[in-house]
Amino acid sequence: MHSAEYNGYNQQVEKEKVNYFIPSSLPPEAASKVEEDAQPRYLEDEGFYVGEKPIVLQQNTNILENRLIKHGGRGWFGSDGQVDSLPNPVAEMATKPWVDSLDELDPCVETVYVKAQPRAVEDKYLQIIQNQVSDENELQIDIGSINFIHHSLMSREHVLASNITMMYDEYRMIRHKNYITFYTDKLAALRNAVETLKETLGVDPTALQKSRINDFTAEIRRTTQQLSTAESSERDMMRQIINEWEAIKSLREEQGYNNTSVRLVVKKEEVNYQHDLNNWETEVAHQVDERRAEYDVIILSAHQEEMRKYQVQLQEWKQNRLKMKRIRKRMQRGSKENLLDPSSEVAIADIIKPDKPPPFDDVTVKNEVMNDLIVNRRNPGEARISLELTHTTTITPTPSVPPSEANRRRAMQKTSSNLRVLFNGREVFQTEPKILSSDFKLNFGSIFRVRIAQWPESLKVGVVDTLRLVSKSITSTFYLDIPPTTVHSGNVRLGVSGFTSNKVESHTHEGVGSGTPFTLRTNETNPTSLNTKGQLISSVSWSLDANGRVLAPKGLVEREDPISGANPLKSNDPVIAIGAERLQDPESLTKWVQESRLDPNDPENAALVPFMQGNKDGDVFLTQDYFRLEQLQEEFNFITEEEFSRLNRFRLLRLRHEEIPEFRNISMLPCNEHEVTESAFTAYERRLKEKDVVKMERGVDGDRIEVLKFRQNVKDAVLHRFYTSRHHYSLQDMVHEEQVPDIGTLGASIVKIAEPRRPLKPVRKTRKKAMSQNLTEGSVRILVNVVRGYNIPTRQASHSHQPDRRGEVQVGGAMAASSLRVGQHLDPSSKSYLVAPFVAASFQDATVTTSVAQGPSPSWNEELQLPFCAPNSDYNASNLQKVDDVLFIHLFDRVTEDATPTNTEDTATIITRVQNHWLGSYELPFSTIYQRGKIDGTFKIKVPPVLLGYNLEREIVLYRLKLSLKYQSSGTYLTIFVTLEPVLKPMDPPNLTNPTTLRLKFESQEDVSLLRRCVTYLADCNKRYPNRNVKTTVIDIKGESVLITRFVRPLPPPPELTEATNTNTIITLEKIARFVSLIPFVSDNVTYAGICDLWSTCDQFMQMLCGDEEEHAILLLNYFLHLGKQAYLLLGTAVPEGNTAYVLTVDHNEYIIWNASTGEYHDKSDPHSPLQSVGALINDTNIWFNVQTQDTPMRVRYNVTRMSDWKAFFPITATPLPSIQPESLYYPPTDQSYVANLIDAVERTLKDRIVSWRPRHITRWNRSGNSILRQIVKGLEERVSRKTGVMVNTGHNEQLLSQLGDVRFTGYPMDQPYTGVEAVVSAVRSTEVHKIQDPDVEFSMAVHIHAYPASVLAVWVYVAAIVNRRRHDL
Amino acid sequence: MSSGINPNPSVFLLMLNGQIESGEFPDFDELYCKFSFHHGQDWVVTSGLEEGISQITRRSRDERELFVWNFPLDVTYKSTNPHGWPQLVVSCYGPDSFGRDVVHGYGSMHIPMVPGKHRVKVAMFVPVSTSKLQQITSWLLGRRPEFVDPKVVAQGEGREVTRVRSQGHVTVTCNIVTRDLKKLGYDLQPSDVTNIPVATMT
């Protein structure tokens, strides 16, 4: 332990100095940043592209640099002494301008939609059509040899030898061309010509002759100069070669071995000195003469000309002077005005006498000429030298060379090279690898043929060096020209193409390396550095076929024309990308590139670099750095597209992949094409056809079919989009994870401990939902719990028409008697409550029944179980919600009657016959059960308005329920509870806040801000009450989102419905509702289960004559609004539909809820109303969402102006937005003859069917009954629409009884919207009238179709089974 | 098929015969594994078990720290289409430090296509909790996140929403026999590199 110690400030500073380093912010010395004894090198000054460095404060840079220097981080600095940094990556211009809000879009940045124009793929590929068997396109590539001019494995001697070889080649070329002889001969010829010309000239040559002589003289002079240049350059060349040879010789001596075989032979040709001298002197004389002549012609004649001019001017001046003198004299005498005439004054100074040119000096000229000759030409007596390069030197064998050289030679032997040829960027072949020979030549000598299917765009050659057979490296690549079609294998010649490599290599042995400096000559001070360089001797041509035809693609000729628009290469040209389209001509392009001084190192100009380098031949290789999607698709296709669609197996595979219902569960799809039968598709094809056929049967116009088809297409597209989005999973779909318990759940779990074990009021626990993968066939059941029934029709006692009680007992038997007592007990005043009802539930061909109960208000309390089989055993949510099976709940009366023949004496045996009389039914689509999980409540059974032989006891129900009479609905009710066991997990309804379902948003014509408001409004509503039904936008038939209020617009109903009565009575409303309900109901929901509804406008609806709840509701609402009613569209949930739309009318505190698709209406406080909750109200101006805590119709306050009860979509109710509905509807009159024919057809079909349903019994028709029913049925439509069905009932009975006498009969009139004959038939069948097995039964039937305007048809069928009692009793 | 060899087969057969040999899972003491096969629609198991569950094994007491199951696999497939080639899905479970059964890894492998003996090391992973708090509670309660269906590891769909952590390896050896594949035009032999034609040359 130390005691506390105080250090003085200075001491402290001293210590800190030792330990601390504070980097200075002053710039560090430049020398400390670069390599020792090296100067900073500024790449930018040397013309390299360095890019722009990001801006850093100088002070910070200095600190950083000082710190780096301190820590010895020299590696951080570049050669220019700056910290190495990448160029600033931030672009100056934003690629996409920032848009603040979509509302105020700057017109400058508004995007314009331009439809994509697909470029034909054929561009790249040669036309297949032309590509017949004989029409193959073939390139023939002849790879001759490679000559390395420099190679990293070359020794110094090789470098020199390569130099000398190159020089010698050049020399030989000059010699071959033999300029000297050429010019000498030319000179001689010219001189001759001049001589002869001069001779022919007379004393006075013409101007033409003179000029010719002058021309000749000039030509002679030029030629003389050329001769001098040629000769001197040849002499220079020779001198250099000899120098190089000297270097080689000295190098060989120095190293003591030979590496190359080059040897220079200097041949001297002895010449005659005298002869030479003579020639030389003549030459001198000639040249002097010529110069003199030239002097004469040019200088002297020019002088003479000038002299002549001078003389003229002098003469003029003299004359002027004389004139002036005369004028002056006159002036002195007379007027002074014209004293000075400026024009007359000519300055003497302007006229200069030209100097006489110096005389031709023979001696000087001769000296000049001689000097020139001595320097540039062979001097007299000098030997004529010619050089010859031979390869005769023997190379020193490897054993006798020093080890470093031996290493080099070994390395050479290990190195082999080959060529790779790439056509359009894909390798088509490689040559055999060849080992480098000692003269650095690779002889390939191979010819390849490449059959091509694409337009030739590039032919690239890569030189691959292989070291020790393993490490491969591409040293250099270069391009070969695609030959024009005229070049074929018959006429092609080998050409030379050069290549270089910038790969840096250095060796430890004698090899000089590549790109690294070395000293070539011993006495040289500055080292040289050479890159690997070589020449390929090759040729490319089009092949010839056996007939000598060129196998070049057609159209290549046109493609060569750079101006023609059909040139496909043009569109691939990178040059166009920079906006220089016009420069199609490569030469001018190269020129332009060079003139525009683009930086070759800037990556942006990469595409143009080939142009900058300015190829010697003016050829340009286009690099292709564009991207092409799926460019190799064709090659990767296993089979052609055509076959793919033709072969059944592939079709099957594809349909399965598309999850077409018929195919999605096919397994073990056959492997061979022939095993796939056509029958596999029949079901699918039939379905496709049925789409049309079914609608044809409905017998309405072609318009409707068209619209339906269109609608189907829109639905399919929407559904497809939906299913695509279903493939996006959330974490909950994938991973099962316990939720974090928050305070609430923790608290609840603590409270749970203190809870009573068996509470008196247990809380309903939600059942666990079963996952689809755990489900198997038969594990899912539908549970139907039938609790009780209300107001079930009772048998009519009156028709038994018995004076004595015996018959009654006989008819009812023991059970009837007991039920009679029950009835009497209920209401002693009447004994008519005799009924033995039971409920039969049927689903998917399975039917289960409850036991038989007694009386009009039975209590069964029984659970029925029905098996459920998913189609194709697929229990996936997406499949389940397509199930369109319906659960039927039928109510029957079991009538037990005595079938004992009356004439038999055997009283001990009583034979009774059991008959089930249909009383009514209720339909529940499976999709509703599936979506809602459970259905619980009291529902109205659809009972025919007239049940022959039964009484509908309305009053009792009213009495029991103590309700207001006015809008109370009558009818029969069943309390049931339906659920699935186990509960299937329904498909999640699309949630707008979920990003995956945002894909479901559709195109819209609505304002963007409006759509945005819709999203926020919906999100807000869903947050507050997620289960309440609300919509803001719906999809119209075009597949576009439309604001829902646009559907609301007052529309006049057909005048027939309103003309007769006062428009404001409930009867009119009833009539209208009846009309609307008669439009056939076709649900979207069954198939699409809330995914999307397509809403059609009223005119489309009327045209198609089918729609679901929304269309009906909208039409009804629009009619009501036209009548001046205060009405709203009510979105809510109802049974059995689920989410649905109703119409609410408000009239002096009376709130009536209309079900538009059935025509029924209820008071808001009717407990039997099918409407379960109220979600939103809509009219043409606004949408109101129910934000009250209660949503059952009877508890909701309907005053939409109350902000606390209703959340409005538009805060201020503005003028309604323009509607998409038409102004009025057109109701074409219905064709009466068509209706008449239809009545006949339906009746005939029904009679045939009833007969066929009773194969073992005779079916008799009671004609008088038929005619009575026909009378009755015609009046039914009028009466039923007034809701007076009960009154009618008795009337029917009386009518029938009075006509037929003592009969017992059962029968029902049924009405339904006309959708097709089959629908009517199945409705009749469901009544099971035909099942009556009494041998004496007779049937009566009548059909009537009430025609409303616009082909809205109400079908009435009245069937009755009549048993003649008298005959029976006999 | 009565003669045994069908010259024109309509299905091919794939037989796998092997075992889930061992696993390497640091930090655990006892493990058992479940396996199941996942295959496409055109595949049918003709014999053998499609699912199974192994015994519980303890970690070996040597430096290898292996969990050895040597659990046999024997399954024969019949198929018409190589699409949906069967995959073996292995999931490992075992007690955690509080003795509760939790999942220790999921992994999958394609049944090798080439006949012969193969030894495959299957990497195992588990989904991780979505938050630290979840992690603590799941550790406390012994309810680690699990895949809804173990077969999701054999599928690509929906994987992007999950985060997983590597757990260890399971070594599976299998012997593969195929029949009639070549007759149906599927060549599973690796082609000879030297014989690949590079261009149509004459």
Both tokens assigned to A679:
């029958």
Kindly report, residue by residue over A240-285, the tens digit of the pLDDT: 888 888 888 888 888 888 878 888 888 887 777 888 888 888 888 8
- Residue A385 CA to its chain's centroid (Å): 77
Kindly report, residue by residue over A782-822, the tens digit of the pLDDT: 889 999 888 788 877 644 443 333 333 333 333 333 333 33
The residues that bridge with A497 in the sheet, in sequence order, are: A536
Does the structure show a pLDDT above 50 at A1116? yes
Burial class (CB in 10 A: 0-12, 13-18, 19+), A491: exposed
Exposure string over A981-996, b if 16+ CB within 10 A, otherwise e? ebbbbbbeebebeeee
Determine contact, residues A865/A781, Cβ cutoff 8 Å: yes
Q: Which residues of B touch A675 (CB under 8 A)?
A: 10
Q: Which residues of B touch A734 (CB under 8 A)?
A: 127, 147-148, 152, 158-159, 161-162
ipTM given for this complex: 0.80
What is the mean pLDDT of the segment spanning A581-601? 57
Kindly report, residue by residue over A305-319, the tens digit of the pLDDT: 888 888 888 888 888
> Helix, strand, coil shares of chain A as percentages rounded to 5?
40, 20, 40
Determine contact, residues B124/B166, Cβ cutoff 8 Å: yes
List, in order, residues 6 or more apart from A180 with CB less than 8 Å away.
A227, A230, A231, A234
Does the structure show a pLDDT above 80 at A198? no
Q: Give A659-713 as a DSSP string.
A: T-TTTTT--S--SSGGGS-GGGGHHHHHHHHHHHHHHHHTT--HHHHHHHHHHHH
Give the number of C-alpha atoms closer than 13 A to the C-alpha of residue A174, restricted to the C-beta side.
Answer: 20
> Helix, strand, coil shares of chain B as percentages rounded to 5?
10, 50, 40
* pLDDT given at position A121: 41
Does the structure show a pLDDT above 50 at A1331? yes
The pLDDT confidence band at residue A957, using thresholds 50, 70 and 90, is: very low
Query: Between residues A727 and A958, which one has the greater pLDDT?
Result: A727
Q: Say if the Cβ atoms of A736 and B146 lie within 8 Å.
A: yes
Side chain identity, residue B94: G
* pLDDT given at position A101: 62
Q: Say if the Cβ atoms of B147 and A451 lie within 8 Å.
A: no
List, in order, residues 6 or more apart from A809 with CB less than 8 Å away.
A816, A817
Q: Which candidate from A430, A675, A731 shows the least CB-CB separation from B162?
A: A731
Percent of chain A with pLDDT over 70: 73
What is the mean pLDDT of the segment spanning A745-771? 74
Q: Which candidate from B161, B162, B199 shows the least CB-CB separation from A450?
A: B199
Q: How many Å lie between the alpha carbon of A430 and the closest alpha carbon of chain B?
A: 8
Q: How many Å lie between the alpha carbon of A1273 and the closest alpha carbon of chain B?
A: 57
Between chain A and chain B, the number of residue pairs with CB atoms below 8 A apart is 103
Query: Between residues A967 and A481, which one has the greater pLDDT?
Result: A481
pTM (predicted TM-score): 0.49
Both tokens assigned to A24:
């200075």
Determine contact, residues A535/A494, Cβ cutoff 8 Å: no
Q: Say if the Cβ atoms of B81 and A671 lie within 8 Å.
A: yes
- Residue A555 CA to its chain's centroid (Å): 33
Mean pLDDT of chain B: 86
Does the structure show a pLDDT above 70 at A219? yes
Query: Between residues A628 and A674, which one has the greater pLDDT?
Result: A674
**Looking at chain B, which residue has its C-alpha nearest residue A733?**
B148
Q: Does the beta carbon of A595 lie under 8 angstroms from any beta carbon of chain B?
A: no
Q: Does the beta carbon of B80 lie under 8 angstroms from any beta carbon of chain A?
A: yes
Strand (E) positions, A32-157? 137-150
Q: What single-letter DSSP state applies at residue A965? A: S
Q: How many Å lie between the alpha carbon of A1222 and the closest alpha carbon of chain B?
A: 46
Kindly report, residue by residue over A1222-1264, the tens digit of the pLDDT: 888 888 887 788 888 888 888 888 888 888 888 888 888 888 8
Q: Say if the Cβ atoms of B147 and A668 lie within 8 Å.
A: no
Does the structure show a pLDDT above 70 at A1300? no
The residues that bridge with A139 in the sheet, in sequence order, are: A450, A542
**Looking at chain B, which residue has its C-alpha nearest residue A423?**
B199
* pLDDT given at position A270: 77
The residues that bridge with A789 in the sheet, in sequence order, are: A974
Q: How many Å lie between the alpha carbon of A419 and the closest alpha carbon of chain B?
A: 14
Q: Which candidate from A448, A730, A731 shows the least CB-CB separation from B201?
A: A448
Q: Does the beta carbon of A451 lie under 8 angstroms from any beta carbon of chain B?
A: yes
CA A499 vs CA A167, A615, B125: distances in Å: 19, 12, 54
**Looking at chain A, which residue has its C-alpha nearest residue B151?**
A734
Does the structure show a pLDDT above 60 at A832? no
- Omega of the bond prior to A600 within 30 degrees of 0, cis? no
Kindly report, residue by residue over A321-344, the tens digit of the pLDDT: 888 888 888 777 655 544 444 444
CA A75 vs CA A29, A72, A79, A527: distances in Å: 16, 8, 10, 26
Residue A1259 DSSP SS3: coil
Does the structure show a pLDDT above 50 at A964? no
Most B CBs within 10 Å, among A450, A734, A743, A769, to test the B interface: A734
B34 φ/ψ angles, rounded to the nearest 5 degrees: -115, 145
* pLDDT given at position A577: 41
Both tokens assigned to A552:
């070049």
CA B132 vs CA A615, B128, B143: distances in Å: 66, 10, 14
Mean pLDDT of chain A: 74
Does the structure show a pLDDT above 60 at A1036? yes
Does the structure show a pLDDT above 70 at A756? yes
List, in order, residues 6 or more apart from A1330 with CB less than 8 Å away.
A1250, A1253, A1254
Determine contact, residues A1004/A1010, Cβ cutoff 8 Å: no
Q: Which residues of A touch B178 (CB under 8 A)?
A: none
The pLDDT confidence band at residue A830, using thresholds 50, 70 and 90, is: very low
Closest CA to A969 of A950, A947, A941: A941
Does the structure show a pLDDT above 50 at A711? yes
Q: Does the beta carbon of A1318 lie under 8 angstroms from any beta carbon of chain B?
A: no
Q: How many Å lie between the alpha carbon of B95 and the closest alpha carbon of chain A?
A: 18
Determine contact, residues A536/A497, Cβ cutoff 8 Å: yes
Q: Say if the Cβ atoms of A668 and B79 lie within 8 Å.
A: yes
Give the number of C-alpha atoms closer than 13 A to the C-alpha of residue A660, restricted to the C-beta side.
Answer: 15
Q: Say if the Cβ atoms of B161 and A653 lie within 8 Å.
A: no
Burial class (CB in 10 A: 0-12, 13-18, 19+), A1118: buried
Number of other residues whose CB lies within 10 A of the CB of residue A1027: 10
Kindly report, residue by residue over A1019-1035, the tens digit of the pLDDT: 888 888 887 888 888 87
Both tokens assigned to A62:
């200095």
* pLDDT given at position A741: 66
What is the mean pLDDT of the segment spanning B138-142? 82
Q: How many Å lie between the alpha carbon of B6 and the closest alpha carbon of chain A?
A: 14
Q: Does the beta carbon of A520 lie under 8 angstroms from any beta carbon of chain B?
A: no
Determine contact, residues A1296/A1358, Cβ cutoff 8 Å: no
Determine contact, residues A864/A783, Cβ cutoff 8 Å: yes
Q: Which candidate from B8, B127, B157 shows the least CB-CB separation from A735?
A: B127
Q: How many Å lie between the alpha carbon of B161 and the closest alpha carbon of chain A?
A: 5
Q: Say if the Cβ atoms of A449 and B44 lie within 8 Å.
A: no
Q: Which candidate from A671, A728, A731 shows the least CB-CB separation from B184?
A: A671
A353 φ/ψ angles, rounded to the nearest 5 degrees: -75, 120
* pLDDT given at position A723: 67
Most B CBs within 10 Å, among A738, A739, A985, to test the B interface: A738
Q: Say if the Cβ atoms of A738 and B159 lie within 8 Å.
A: no
Both tokens assigned to A1044:
């829902």
What is the mean pLDDT of the segment spanning A585-592? 60
Q: Say if the Cβ atoms of B137 and A740 lie within 8 Å.
A: yes
* pLDDT given at position A86: 80
Burial class (CB in 10 A: 0-12, 13-18, 19+), A636: exposed
**Looking at chain A, which residue has its C-alpha nearest residue B159?**
A734
Residues counted in chain A: 1370
Q: Which of residues 88-117 of B touch A (CB under 8 A)?
A: none
Q: Does the beta carbon of B149 lie under 8 angstroms from any beta carbon of chain A?
A: yes
Q: How many Å lie between the alpha carbon of B193 and the closest alpha carbon of chain A?
A: 14
Determine contact, residues A1351/A1359, Cβ cutoff 8 Å: no
Q: How many Å lie between the alpha carbon of B170 and the closest alpha carbon of chain A?
A: 22
The residues that bridge with A842 in the sheet, in sequence order, are: A847, A888
Q: Which candidate from B83, B147, B201 shows the least CB-CB separation from A735?
A: B147
d(C-alpha A1211, C-alpha A1013), whole Å = 11
Q: Say if the Cβ atoms of A430 and B199 lie within 8 Å.
A: no
